[in-house]
Structure 1
Amino acid sequence: MTQPPPPPPNQPPGGFPPPNQPPGGFGAPQDPAYGQGQGGFGAPTPPPPPPQGQPGYGYPQAPPPQQPGYGYPEQQQHQQPVPPPYGYPNQPQPPQQQPYGYPTAPQQHVPAPAPGGGKKLSATTLIVIAAVVAVALIVGGGVWYANSGTDEPTDAKPSGGTSQNQNPNGGGGEATTGGSGLGGNGKEKPGVDTGASLAFRIDVPKVPDTTPVDGSWLTDKTYVKTGVNSVVGYDLAKGTVSWTIPLAGQVCGASRHMTADNKVPILFEESKRVAPRYYQSCNKVGMLDLNSGKLLWSASVSGGGDEKARFSEVTLSGATVAAGGTDGGAAFDAATGKVRWKPQSDDQNCYDMGYGGGAGLVAVRKCGKYGAETILVQNLDPVSGKPLSQYKMPTGVKYASVVSTKPLVVAANVGDAADDGSSISDFFSLDEKTGKLRTKITANADRYAARCGSTSVEECQQVLVGDDRLYLPTEEHDGSTGEYGDETNEIIAFDLATGRTAPEKADAGDGYTLMPLRMDGGDLIAYKVGPYDKGGQIVSVNAGTMKETLLLETPSDKGNRDIVSSFSITGAELLYADGRFFISATYANKPRESDSSFGKKYHAVSFATKR
């Protein structure tokens, strides 16, 4: 039998560990709404301090030995065949590319003077030859830069379904609409004034111990946030309570996707938390109506014997709600709560760890004995659960995270190569129809800031997919001046068909750090963390040109900066839509005397521009 990891403190022996641990590891954001440019649930936790990066983009130089430039991934093809009935032929290795932003000119060979009676070259002649070579090097570098990575990517147009992608703080964001070209078709546009003011603040609810409060969503009228044993809707402009949905226990999982008519699935505990254990089993699946403020249905399924199956993640694809965890996976009809399938025993020790939703439904399935497990990525029929295609992850992969279902992109830490807590060493671009590998992009954890939950299937942040491209931010590195406080980063695009980098990139600028939040049609919505003396910014990034348009800027005065900095931005839920920016916590803590020295904490805050 597959053995689960040892339980954390404050839980019964053999129990399922609380799905969301307090900040300390890096967690997951989520992504905003399909077609409406709205935000959704996310729960990342702060990463370790980023390493110093390499210098910013400079003039092409003729190299000595080639070195990878900052933020440039290695490209590899996965050669391991996958057993029948699915065929996974090996794909040819693409040619090694030059580092992004540091084009290398081709080496030029100058013949040495002939030995023996060869005529010596004059000093003037040598100078002329050297000048010609230098020009050739510069031109060679320029030609490479102009033509590298410019293969026109396939236009991805996810189809059908009623689910909307909700992703605060940058989770696996899929493009919600295609487009005739790359970028420029996003719905978010700047208003008459991009300067924002504080709209409202919500105080931290009173709790006796650390309590997860993952989950926040936007409708056209309501900002919705998880409370204590409840989900609360707030007036979008004023922050006053519009409605409250009471629950049997605490929310312990929330979908990043919701239906077109603002219905969203959650997980919640079967009863209220009580001391001293302060933990209950996460075994309830429910569907919320964010328009009416009602719980439409709730359900549980057997996990074997008399125990109810415990879940750690829930998602939505079309008319199916799917929940997964170490007890296995289950699915429900989104409208009625009727069980579509539930965890079942398997002589191969196989079970669904979790699912990725949105435009499709993808299961990450673990099979085999403890220490020798195999990880399968299966594209499912959302109604029957029947696998439509399958890909076997390479040896050394213990978990996999679904970044996007259409196009299908999976992140994994192969052989524990990424030791920075990001859980990502490689991205796998897969054909969801055949299960074949399109390309593998090796993303050095020291260069990229994307993160996924270590054991979660749909809990990635700061990575987006749209128009058949993968968008990744680099880690912070020195800005153009090299002075303290001018650290910066970029967002770089990769073609999911070839793995090649696009020549364009989005540059945060000195002192700012770009965090991709979600796709807006074919464009990106990103948050720019500001320097110590300025506000943060919400920008729209044209997916083709990677040019930025300012949508909102938070106030730069100390009082408002302190409000923003009271949140761990990489560990908060960030939502933006139509000139309104929301920041909310993923944990509520019991107040401590030392808290006052660090400033007041908030459950959520909102900034808004004049529209």
Structure 2
Amino acid sequence: MSQPPQPPQPPEPPRQPQDAPQGFGAPQEPPASGFGAPQQPPAGGYGTPTPPPPAGPPSTPPPAGPPAYGYPQTPPQQAGYGYPNTPPGQPGYGYPNTPPQQPGYGYPGQPGQPMQPGQPMQAGYGYPGRPPAQPMQPQYGMPGAPGPGGQGGGGKKPNTQLMIIIAAVVAVALIVGGGIWYATGKDDGKSDAKTGDTGGAKGDGGSATGGGGKEKAPANTAAKVLFQTPQPKVTDLTSVHGSWLTDKVYAKAGPKQIVGYDPAKGTVLWTLPLTGNVCEASTHTSADGKTAFAFETTESGSKYASCTEAAGLDLNTGKLLWQADVKGANGDRKTRFDEITVGAGTVAAGGLDGGAAWDLNTGKELWKPTTTADQCKDVGYGGGDALVAVRKCGDYEKPTINVQTLDPKTGQPTSTYKMMPGIQYAHIVSTKPLVLAADVGESAGDGSGISDFFSVDDKTGKLLARIPAPGDKYSADCDSTSVEKCTMVVAGGGKLYVPTEQHDNAGATDSLRRTNEIVAFDLTTGQPVPGKADAGDGYTVYPLRMDGTNVIAYKEAPYDKGSQVVSIDGGTLKPTLLLENPNDRSVRDALSSFSGKYSDILYGNGRLYLGAQLLSKPYSGSDSEKKFLFMATGTS
């Protein structure tokens, strides 16, 4: 697919571009020391919050290190809101970008920047700041530390008297230090469920998935490949955004079409031909199986396709409900959409010209792009149970950003939260509860678009809590210039669930493999919740979605294991195994080509679906270069 020329860029300091990932989902070359070899852990210990530094100007930041393990190299900063640039030698859109060098190590804002009114000072307990020079190493007898002969083996039985002494010291430290134990991440909430264990699903009536979740552990969690579709032939970078799952169908966008499949058998149920590729797709589906997407057309007089057509789709029948486009504020061309979502029965799309909306069922136009005299316009929306707009005002260099909960039928705001200065782009993690993310002062330093999360009361627009999330500690990600394209982070049940960066596995003394955890924060107070959901030796875990008050999470596996899907209890953070994929080389290779950041990963009713978002021409015709449009595994 040929790409249109990029729009004029606003002036910005020159930056050195880096290589972007080659195409979509291509497996990265393994480290020199072999697949899954350990990397140096990020500075600051294990990715858990640490106490803040003393008041005053920040100290000199440490030297910039290599990107976190598993992160793709990041190309230059994009200019327009939701308008990605093309990295050198790489066509197409959807690539991450690199923010300027961070001014401070994990600092949420510029030095001397005031806090928001009503914002509590997050001193000590759970406030991520500069990491200690030497992270505490877990010892036998300490909470969360491995026992003898645990996973990884090789441990000797500890001396009983020594354990008593250490336990006494720890008890005193906890009493004196208050919440510092949790602030340094050495909590006692580590799950005792071993890899492959089903936790409490069988033994106690499924208590691990009893928090209002629909997904239950099957009697046999071993999965098999149900069906898979090889990547169709493409000659250029091709957008195939869009994967949806209902009880009746799994639907996947392909080149110039969307196809619905039987979710268990993979047989084709319907095919919807399109005049262009699906360029944007909502991740939300209504209760009766309806969703929305945007696709490309080529306007008269242009040789480039543009993402201008919005459409509603009945997933269960494959019927195109409606198709629409709108003219921009100047009225001379169709508006290009950079995002589209479904919220409370309304389809809303945003882009450089502003936002537009339609009724999901009928396609009736509800509003069209407008720009006010003070240069205010909707640049994108968050959907789901509510509809929330990100409204940007003023000039490019110093914009004012308001996040507004909307009446979904009129577009009128019912509450407004004004983002603090120093924020170029705001991201919507969730609309109910309303959780935002931003890179304050471009301090994240890892291209994730996140230095802080903001919990907001959607009825009043009042800030409830600001949760710092330094890029070197947490691995959630929001596309730098997009509103709703956040991955590996979910919110629900009064909590925010975030994965830590990978680190050395202190729980397996003879293992060289790395691991991470999912941790939670209280959305009312911003404080970290005790406990964590450990990935396990060599695994990397990140959340996919909420399931009632539980969290459905995906665990990428080491080279000698099968990847897994787990349900994490929202109260105890105890994981329960739902599905484990085959430990077969060909299956592992296929699964590993779908990353959490650049793929659609869906789970439901005991089945896992992984779909590509972008397709590129394979480097060769060998089996090792074989790619898939999507694949499905399941326990039934």
Q: Same fold (TM over 0.5)?
A: yes
After superposition, the C-alpha distances for 1:97-152 in whole angstroms (9 at most, x for unaligned) are 16899799xxxxxxxxxxxxxxxxxxxxxxxxxxx9988743233447997899xx
Match status 1:11 vs 2:11: no
Describe the SS at the equivalent of 2:617: coil
Q: CA-to-partner distance for each residue in 1:500-532, whole Å, 9 max, x for gaps?
A: 111111011111111111100100001111111
Indicate whether 1:280 and 2:305 are aligned: yes
Question: Aligned equivalents of 1:591 and 1:311: distance in 2?
Answer: 29
How far the C-alpha of 1:266 sits from its partner, in A, is 0.5
User: Which residue identity does 2:494 align to in structure 1?
Assistant: D
1:396 to partner: Cα distance: 1.2
Q: Secondary structure at the match of 1:502?
A: coil
C-alpha contact 1:26 1:47 (8 A) present in aligned 2: no
**Could you tell me which of 238, 243, 267 is aligned with 1:216?**
243
Name the structure 2 match of 1:505: 532
The answer on whether the counterparts of 1:25 and 1:46 sit within 8 Å (CA) in structure 2 is: no
Does 2:560 align with 1:560? Answer: no
TM-score, length-scaled by structure 1: 0.75
Q: In the alignment, which residue of structure 2 is the partner of 1:166? A: none
Question: Structure 1 residues 552, 135: closer, same or farther in 2, change over 3 A?
Answer: closer
Cα 1:73–1:261 shift into 2, 3 Å:
farther
1:190 to 217, 221, 245: 217
In structure 2, do the counterparts of structure 1 residues 279 and 238 end up closer, same or farther at CA, with 3 Å as the change threshold?
farther
Q: Aligned runs of 1:91-102 on 2, under 5 Å?
A: 91-97=119-125
Quickly say closer, same or farther: Cα 1:572–1:273, change in 2 above 3 A: farther
**Matching residue of 2:332:** 306
Note if 1:531 corresponds to 2:563: no
The answer on 1:433 being equivalent to 2:459 is: yes
Matched, 1:406 2:428: no
Q: Does residue 519 of structure 1 match 2:563?
A: no
Taking structure 1 as reference, are residues 294 and 182 closer, same or farther at Cα in structure 2, changes over 3 Å only?
Answer: closer
Separation of aligned partners in 1, 2:340 and 2:516: 32
Cα distance in 1 for partners of 2:370, 2:355 equals: 9
Q: Distance in 2 between matches of 1:392 and 1:138?
A: 43
Which amino acid in structure 1 is aligned with residue 457 of structure 2? D
User: What code does the residue aligned with 2:4 have?
Assistant: Q
Partner of 2:41 in structure 1? 52
* CA distance 1:503–1:74, change in 2 (3 Å): farther
- Per-residue CA shift, 1:151-201, capped at 9, x if unaligned? xxxxxxxxxxxxxxxxxxxxxxxxxxxxxx996221111112100111111
Deviation sequence 1:337-373 (CA, Å, 0-9, x none): 1111111131111111100011211111111023121
Q: Which amino acid aligns with 1:280?
A: A
Q: What is the CA distance between 1:15 and its match in structure 2?
A: 8.5
SS class of match (1:470): strand
TM-score, normalised by the number of residues in structure 2: 0.72
The alignment partner of 1:528 has SS state of: strand
Residue 543 of structure 2 aligns to a residue whose secondary structure is strand
**Percent of aligned positions with the same letter in both sequences?**
49
2:259 matched to 1:229?
A: no
The answer to which structure, 1 or 2, has the higher relative contact order (CA under 8 A, 6+ apart) is 1
Q: Which amino acid aligns with 1:289?
A: D
Structure 2: which amino acid aligns with 1:603? Answer: L
> What is the CA-CA distance between 1:283 and the residue it aligns to?
1.0
Contact 2:568 2:574 in 1 (8 A): yes
Q: Give the number of equivalent residue pairs.
A: 508
- Over 3 Å counting, the alpha-carbon distance change for 1:9 and 1:262 in structure 2 is closer
Determine the structure 1 residue equivalent to 2:423. 397
Cα pair distance change 1:434/1:47, threshold 3 Å: farther
Measured after TM superposition, the shift of residue 280 of structure 1 is 0.9
Look up the match of 1:366.
Answer: 392
Q: Is the 8 A contact 2:108 2:441 kept in 1?
A: no
* Cα distance in 2 for residues equivalent to 1:145 and 1:253: 50
C-alpha separation between the residues in 2 aligned to 1:499 and 1:520?
A: 22
Residue of structure 2 in register with 1:579 after alignment = 606
Structure 2 residue 229 is the aligned partner of structure 1 residue 202: yes
| Contact 2:551–2:570 (Cα < 8 Å) also in 1 | yes
Contact 1:283 1:300 in 2 (8 A): yes
1:257 aligns with 2:284: yes
Match for 1:398: what amino acid?
Q
Of 134, 147, 171, the match for 1:139: 171
Q: Deviations over 1:238-266 (max 9, x none)?
A: 22221111112111110011111111010
**Counterpart code for 1:605:** M
Structure 1 segments unaligned to the other structure (5+ residues) = 1-7, 17-22, 28-42, 59-64, 83-87, 105-131, 151-180
Q: What residue number does 1:607 align with?
A: 633
Distance 1:384 1:26 in 2: 43
Look up the equivalent residue of 2:306 and give its one-letter code. S
The SS at the match of 1:270 is strand
Taking a change above 3 Å as real, the CA distance of residues 45 and 285 of structure 1, as seen in their structure-2 partners, is farther
Alignment of 1:587-606 (within 5 A): 587-593=614-620, 596=622, 598-606=624-632
CA contact (8 A) 1:26 1:421 kept: no
CA positional deviation for 1:14: 4.0
1:410-434 alpha-carbon deviations (Å, 9 max, x no partner): 1000111012110100101111111
Corresponding residue for residue 449 of structure 1: 475
Alignment CA distance shift 1:342-1:483 (3 Å): farther
Aligned counterparts of 1:576 and 1:26: Cα–Cα separation in 2: 27
Please, what is the CA RMSD of the aligned residues?
3.8
For the 8 Å contact 2:429–2:490, the answer to whether it is kept is: yes
Question: What letter corresponds to residue 295 of structure 1 in structure 2?
Answer: L
Aligned partners of 1:426, 1:46: CA distance in 2, in Å?
Answer: 30
Instruction: Classify 1:78/1:219 alpha carbon distance in 2 versus 1 (closer, same or farther; 3 Å).
Output: farther
Partner of 1:417: 443
2:410 corresponds in structure 1 to 384
> What does residue 125 of structure 1 align with?
none
More displaced 10-residue stretch of structure 1: 381-390 or 441-450: 381-390
**What secondary structure sits across from 1:329 in the alignment?**
strand
Q: Which runs of 5+ in 2 are unaligned?
A: 10-18, 32-38, 49-53, 55-67, 69-104, 129-134, 139-163, 183-207
Which amino acid in structure 2 is aligned with residue 360 of structure 1?
Answer: A
